Amino acid sequence: MTIPRSEHLATTFSRTWEAVISAEESVARTMWVRTEQARFEQSAMGDGPLADAYDAGVRAAAPPVDAATGAALRFLSAAIGARSVVEVGTGCGTSGIWLLRGMVPEGILTTVDVNAAYQDYARSAFARAGFGAGRARLIRGTALEVLPRLTDGGYDMVSVDADQVSYPAYLEEALRLLRPGGVVVFNNVMVGSDEPDGPLRVPGPAEIAVRELMQRVREDESFIPLLVPVGEGLLTAIRP
């Protein structure tokens, strides 16, 4: 049976129009997300201690989390009523302030970084944000040396924003450190490319490690995962 030319053209036009509408809706959603993220950033920059920590991180080449990512960290720590949180990658204190603001008033943040200057600034940033010295325990050292010394099952949340090559190893430590119902968070997991692997594009060590992390979290029944599209990508997972 031959389809009349007019009907064929109408069908083609309809499909093309649907594709245009879909593309416009996608652009609209993207613009909405960017607008809301910009509002988060504007609000955060009006917060003196947080803005100071953010600026210090930029100047010190210790990339701070953006406000949308910070808000997600605060939300997660508040949602589980976190009393004890481990942070891998102190930086200059931006993410630590967000985490502390979500934790219960007596909660303690244990934050690990190899850079002494970063931690010195973070300690001052926490104080300027109104947190007493007892609210944050800053440990200087490499995370894979420090984490094994922390208490098994003693933490409500593990937040990681550090060298991506070590993300799979940090996941193993998080499994040991988290209590049932605890949450692990990995920042900066959007390291892939739209181009397929091949002779012209070989994935680097960080991308390979993040892929391994994502696959492990997806397939491991020890976790209930969620990928949050804020900042450079936030992978979160609950340990049931």
Please provide the DSSP assignment of 131-160 as one string: --GGGEEEEES-HHHHGGGSPTT-EEEEEE
Find the CATH number of the domain harbouring 126. 3.40.50.150
Among 199, 198, 169, 203, which residue's Cα sits nearest to residue 186? Answer: 169
Q: Is residue 33 in a domain?
A: no
Residue 198: give the domain boundaries: 48-238
Number of domains in the chain: 1
Q: Is residue 18 in a domain?
A: no
Residues β-bridged to residue 224: 238
Q: Is residue 163 in a domain?
A: yes
Q: Is residue 27 in a domain?
A: no
Q: Is residue 153 in a domain?
A: yes
What averages of pLDDT result for each successive group of 10 residues across the chain (240 residues)? 53 52 61 68 73 92 92 96 98 97 97 97 96 96 97 98 97 96 96 60 89 94 92 94
* pLDDT, position 34: 66
Q: Is residue 152 in a domain?
A: yes
* pLDDT, position 8: 53
